[in-house]
Structure 1
Amino acid sequence: MGHVSTTSQGSARGHDSEVPTADRDVLVVGAGIVGLSTAYALTRAAPGTRVTVLEKEPGPARHQTGRNSGVIHSGIYYAPGSLKARFAVQGAAEMVKFCAEHGIPHEVTGKLIVATEREELPRLHALIQRGRQHGIPVRELGPAQIAEREPHVSGLAAIHVGTTGVCDYGAVARQLARLAEDAGAEVRYGAQGTVTAVDRRPGRGVAVRTADGRVLRARALINCAGLHCDSVARLAGDPAPARVLPFRGEYFELVPSREHLVRGLVYPVPDPAFPFLGVHLTRGVDGGVHLGPNAVPALAREGYTWPVISGSDLGGLLTYPGTWHIARRHWRYGAGELRRSLSKSAFTSAVRRLLPDVTEADLRPAPAGVRAQAVLRDGSLVDDFLFAEGPHTVHVLNAPSPAATASLPIGREIAERALAAMAP
């Protein structure tokens, strides 16, 4: 979700007499699902709060929110006590209820997590225990039971997770925008929503300049800018403790004549060393079956294909120590992901671990997404939600999967922090 222009980072101070101004209580940067959920939560927690959402795209949910497989995650993967675990378990139930109340396409399908190698069995059993710790309904399955649920899927053992589902997150974001606007919030798109400068005003809040020359003053700024969140933090004068490294997730989909090969959701057992879940199979609300994603470094924050390169983004990545630490530590894993990116045959082989009957001819390219992965200077991948706060500012610096699933409780958490930041 890009919402900041890095071509102009001058101060917004001193221009109030030259350009139109507007006074608000809260400015939210980013109209992805987290930013819109936050705006919605603010209007509910503090009715009458003057909220403006700024988004550089012509509409909501144009980046991470609108470019994923639409899974409502159960929370089974996440460590007890983490924000991800708390938000996901609570958020999954709330998301299903929200979709039902507002007529948004969704389905609680459950999913299989399948072990295809013996060395994966201990990790599968650990997930069973973790699911039970979270109160998530899980059931162990053998090969015959796997075949009953997914006749074309092969595995040594699996678990069925009952609370996983799918929905249309783009539709959720659009509904959140409508609800926030109905409650008095404003959402600005395009040049009116492109942030070019941020100035902190001691004792008075913040002032933001947008690409159309306007200055907006507010008591608090909430940074939900996704792929550009660290850039927004720097504009505000709050050095981010981590840098966003964009990882592109590439998908294929089954051709219509082969969609019958997958009935629901099928995942591999994840590697605990990485926050990525590996290539999985997802039947969406439209009946299509997505395969993927992989995870390869993107050459631009919005680098949805290999030819898309940003010199400034790439330069920032190459000069950041964390990039080189990751490269040295995980080059073998990265080489495998790169091979699957460049070779349809290699990608098909990854799919065939779960779905042996699939062939290259069964796969066709589908739109990719880019994940805003926060990375520390020592190369550590930030695995949980990361918030940072400064005077009159709240920055969401890492909102990993399951951010869409958990967007309703996350929005309330951010709104609470912002209301505290508004206090004198």
Structure 2
Amino acid sequence: MKHDVQVLVVGGGIVGLSTAYALTREHPGTGVLVLEKESAPATHQTGRNSGVIHSGVYYRPGSLKARYATGGAREMVAFCREQGIAHEVTGKLIIATDPAELPRLAALAERGRANGIPLTELDPAGIRAHEPEVTGIAGLHLATTGICDYPAVARRYADLAGQTGAELRLNTPVLGIARRADGVTVTTPHGEVRCAVLVNCAGLHSDRIARLAGDDPGVRIVPFRGEYYELVPERRALVRGLVYPVPDPAFPFLGVHLTRGVHGDVHVGPNAVPALAREGYDWRTLRPRDLAETVRFPGTWRIARRHWRHEVGELHRSLSKRAFTTAVRRLLPGVAEADLVPATAGVRAQAVARDGTLLDDFAFAGFDPDDPRSPRRAVHVLNAPSPAATASLGIGREVARRAVAALRAG
């Protein structure tokens, strides 16, 4: 097969663009093309999050998340500084509001230290010194957490990759993939593209792209919508930085938290509710194909049986602003319903196994340089949850490493 490009990346979010940047920077001369179905890059998960540069305190020591996040936070701050992208190292509080949460807070402190994260344990007076309007009985202050403009980061990855030969094609969805021993042909509305190696960074559609390429991903993307409010401008002074509750280990999300962004806005949320479409950013958006895939998948029902009590509460907070406000008041007693206005929602591309296990760590499939029996010609990023944006430079290098190894393996 005559190849139009050596590496074709599907998906113009922060992971796909960081992969293109890493390929052109670490492996100069590699021909790279990125296909993005939207009219601009970074419009889904990258452009619909709270912009936090995560320190890595939540992640199991030795996991990919922990390894990428702790170094990734430093790298992201340095990248933003070098490139003139809006950012700030704000620090972050994790607050216990109930005595039952104290053992979990202590476990987080131990995990944070194991991951090499500078942290300080706080009493109520220490909490007030950082956040006068926040209440709690104990807390942790993490010095390395920050905020930045991730869509701007993604656009800069695209610019830097483009300066060394990579191409980004917008409005170009993937319609079909034909994989042969000598290459991969990708069909788009604008014609075919032939490549030596396909890299799947399709986020909310990564499992579908893997199946189109002839690989069994072993997981299904089950979309969860995170709904945010933000404080009205005259009440933004209630929050100085980033404030999180102690997460419940029985539920795979962090809970409602407070985040001051790089432009001065203060996001409150998110909750986590099932989305009726992979790009279902409100209750009105329903895609029958997406919903049918979710409903037919056995893992969906196993999640529901395991977490239904938590999910009932999430749904209540989604449908009732009063209930959402009550949840926020655990951390911020001075907030009122009138202080909160709806903000942009996001959808998390959560990979779920058939047994209902929510993949917690980054997950790759396809060609593996360390496994000579692995399938060739394709590399799949199947699960890239938070802190993927924080760690995007490191993840991009890892995906690029796999792609280049696949090129060499033929």
TM-score, length basis structure 2: 0.97
**Alpha-carbon offset, residue 22 of structure 1:** 6.2
Find runs of 4+ consecutive structure 1 residues off by over 6 angstroms.
Answer: none
Matching residue of 2:271: 294
Quick check: 1:242–1:377 contact (8 Å CA) kept in 2?
Answer: yes
Distance in 1 (alpha carbons) for counterparts of 2:218 and 2:78: 36
Distance in 1 (alpha carbons) for counterparts of 2:109 and 2:200: 36
Matching residue of 1:9: none
Distance in 2 (alpha carbons) for counterparts of 1:167 and 1:369: 17
2:188 matches 1:210: yes
Matching residue of 2:307: 330
What is the SS of the residue equivalent to 1:64? coil
**Alpha-carbon offset, residue 46 of structure 1:** 1.2
**Alpha-carbon offset, residue 399 of structure 1:** 0.3
Distance in 2 (alpha carbons) for counterparts of 1:22 and 1:209: 14
**Structural mapping, 1:216-227, within 5 Å:** 216-227=193-204
Which of residues 150, 155, 158 in structure 2 aligns to 1:174? 155
Paired letter, 2:152? A
What is the SS of the residue equivalent to 2:281? coil
**Alpha-carbon offset, residue 391 of structure 1:** 1.3
Distance in 2 (alpha carbons) for counterparts of 1:27 and 1:120: 47
**Structural mapping, 1:117-266, within 5 Å:** 117-190=98-171, 193-202=172-181, 204-212=182-190, 214-266=191-243
**Structural mapping, 1:358-373, within 5 Å:** 358-373=335-350
Superposition RMSD on alpha carbons, in Å? 1.0
Deviations 1:346-381 (A, max 9, x none): 110110000000000000000000000000001011
2:365 matches 1:388: yes
Deviations 1:39-63 (A, max 9, x none): 0000012111000000000111000
Percent of aligned positions with the same letter in both sequences?
A: 67
Distance in 1 (alpha carbons) for counterparts of 2:248 and 2:162: 42
Distance in 1 (alpha carbons) for counterparts of 2:244 and 2:230: 15
2:42 matches 1:57: no
**Structural mapping, 1:412-423, within 5 Å:** 412-423=397-408
Quick check: 1:69–1:284 contact (8 Å CA) kept in 2?
Answer: yes
Which of residues 292, 316, 321 in structure 1 aligns to 2:293? 316
Deviations 1:99-157 (A, max 9, x none): 00000000000000000000100010111111111111000110011111100000000
Deviations 1:34-83 (A, max 9, x none): 00000000001211100000000011100000000000000000001110
What is the SS of the residue equivalent to 1:195? coil
**Alpha-carbon offset, residue 274 of structure 1:** 2.8
Quick check: 2:202–2:209 contact (8 Å CA) kept in 1?
Answer: yes
Matching residue of 1:5: none
Paired letter, 1:239? D
Paired letter, 1:182? Q
2:14 matches 1:28: no
Matching residue of 1:340: 317
Distance in 2 (alpha carbons) for counterparts of 1:141 and 1:45: 43
**Alpha-carbon offset, residue 422 of structure 1:** 1.0
**Alpha-carbon offset, residue 275 of structure 1:** 2.7
Quick check: 2:352–2:359 contact (8 Å CA) kept in 1?
Answer: yes
Unpaired runs of 5+ residues, structure 2, are 367-374
2:44 matches 1:66: no
Distance in 1 (alpha carbons) for counterparts of 2:201 and 2:244: 29
Distance in 2 (alpha carbons) for counterparts of 1:127 and 1:52: 41
**Alpha-carbon offset, residue 201 of structure 1:** 1.4
Quick check: 1:76–1:131 contact (8 Å CA) kept in 2?
Answer: yes
Distance in 2 (alpha carbons) for counterparts of 1:344 and 1:241: 38
Distance in 2 (alpha carbons) for counterparts of 1:317 and 1:136: 38
Deviations 1:211-230 (A, max 9, x none): 22x11111100000000000
Paired letter, 1:413? E
Paired letter, 2:386? S
Matching residue of 2:392: 407
Quick check: 2:40–2:170 contact (8 Å CA) kept in 1?
Answer: yes
Paired letter, 1:99? C
Paired letter, 1:325? R
Quick check: 2:3–2:183 contact (8 Å CA) kept in 1?
Answer: no
What is the SS of the residue equivalent to 1:158? strand
2:57 matches 1:76: yes
Distance in 2 (alpha carbons) for counterparts of 1:295 and 1:421: 37
Deviations 1:323-345 (A, max 9, x none): 11111111101101000100000
Matching residue of 2:356: 379
Quick check: 2:92–2:145 contact (8 Å CA) kept in 1?
Answer: yes
**Alpha-carbon offset, residue 165 of structure 1:** 0.2
What is the SS of the residue equivalent to 1:379? coil
Which of residues 293, 307, 318 in structure 1 aligns to 2:284? 307
Distance in 2 (alpha carbons) for counterparts of 1:272 and 1:223: 30
Quick check: 1:22–1:215 contact (8 Å CA) kept in 2?
Answer: no
Distance in 2 (alpha carbons) for counterparts of 1:79 and 1:211: 43
Paired letter, 2:151? G
2:86 matches 1:99: no
Unpaired runs of 5+ residues, structure 1, are 1-15
**Alpha-carbon offset, residue 174 of structure 1:** 0.4
